Amino acid sequence: MKEEIQPVTYPSAVDTWLVAVVILAILGPLAFALLVNDIITLFVSGGIFLLLLLFGYPARYILTEDALIIRMGFLYRKRIAFDQIENLSLSDNPLSGPAWSLKRVEVKLRSGLWGFVLISPKERSMFMDELNRRKESTG
């Protein structure tokens, strides 16, 4: 009988400066809108802030028995089967990705529009070791 492998969740690492830049980029126009009493800018800035919360927090990466699941906020979920993962490497790539840190792991995919996804698990080495272990046990 095959042993059941329990899911393991890795939270995203967080670069405080990155979060501050994003929040200031949203709160700046929001404060301006309140200052000059501009209702349109107020609603647009408030809507962007709400979308950021829905799509950006919390960020986590879940390793199941046969897949990596990327959760970014309450609205974004991506499932990548282990057999679609070609390899993993450490990265500082600044391109956008479901990550709150620039200390990232590049997950190279066998197919897909971009061919990779950038994520930022808090414990990068531990995450990579566990993903490789699970990938080997399924393949």
Sheet with 104-109: strands ordered across: 85-91, 104-109, 116-119
Q: Dump pLDDT digits (tens) for 39-65.
A: 887 788 788 888 877 777 788 999 999
Q: Between the CA of residue 63 and those of 15, 75, 103, 111, 137, what are the distances in Å?
A: 23, 19, 19, 20, 13
For the whole model, what pTM was predicted? 0.79
pLDDT at residue number 139: 64
Beta strands at 116-119 and 104-109: parallel, antiparallel or unpaired = antiparallel
Q: Quick one: average pLDDT of 6-17?
A: 91
Q: Between the CA of residue 7 and those of 63, 64, 109, 125, what are the distances in Å?
A: 5, 4, 21, 17
Determine the Cα angle at 124 with ends 4 and 15, to 5°.
130
Domain ranges of the chain: 8-138
With beta carbons less than 8 A apart as the criterion, state whether 119 and 62 touch: no
Architecture of domain 8-138: Roll (2.30)
pLDDT at residue number 136: 85
